[in-house]
Amino acid sequence: MNPNQKGARRPHKGLRLWTHARALGALPYITSVMRSLREHRVEVLRQRLLARRLADRPGRPDRSALLAHQHALAEAQRAQARYEEALKELRALEITCLDAVRGQALIPFLHKKKLAWFLFDLFDAEPLRHWRYQDDPVDVHRLVGAEEEPAA
């Protein structure tokens, strides 16, 4: 098919859009990536907190305290690298991480010719239960399958 033909145009240039069926099919993989992303982010935060606590101890640090501080900083850097790698993997799928610690992400799709997002929630029994339009307020959550089902 010629890419200049009318039917071949992508409505939102540069953004690969999903269907609900495709998102459900990829759910095990998305869940795995989001779980890794969350674990790495929590580890970064934990190691940074440990390093800060070690640095904030009163008095002059001894050799073991200096080594522990350096180890915590190095672990935080390694966890940050793993986090960025998982985030890169998620972005390759055109999925936006909303909050890594809460396990929330946005998966783009079209509904009635408008950009919308499936709201992925790692901790929900149905991770793709809700969706919203791009221009909806952040707190708006529409149920998938209710009244107006997102178009495939």
Structural domain includes residue 4: no
Structural domain includes residue 27: yes
Of residues 146 and 98, more confidently modeled: 98
Structural domain includes residue 8: no
Query: What band does 145 get if pLDDT is binned at 50, 70 and 90?
Result: confident
Q: Determine the average pLDDT of the residues in 99-104.
A: 97
Rounded to an integer, what distance in angstroms lies between the CA atom of residue 37 and that of residue 41? Answer: 6
pTM: 0.81
Structural domains of the chain, count: 1
Domain that holds residue 64: 16-143
Query: What is the per-residue pLDDT across 108-144, written as a single tens digit (0 to 9) for each?
Result: 999 999 999 999 999 999 999 999 999 999 899 999 9
For 112-150, b/e burial (b = at least 16 CB within 10 A) is: eeeebbbbbbbeeeebbbbbbeeeeeeeeebebeeeeeb
Helices and strands (DSSP H and E) totals, the chain: 3, 5
Structural domain includes residue 100: yes
Q: Determine the average pLDDT of the residues in 63-81.
A: 95
Half-sphere exposure of 102 (CA within 13 A, CB side): 9
Q: Cα angle vertex 19, ends 88, 113, to 5°?
A: 105
Query: What is the per-residue pLDDT across 1-24, written as a single tens digit (0 to 9) for each?
Result: 444 444 444 454 568 899 999 999
Structural domain includes residue 1: no
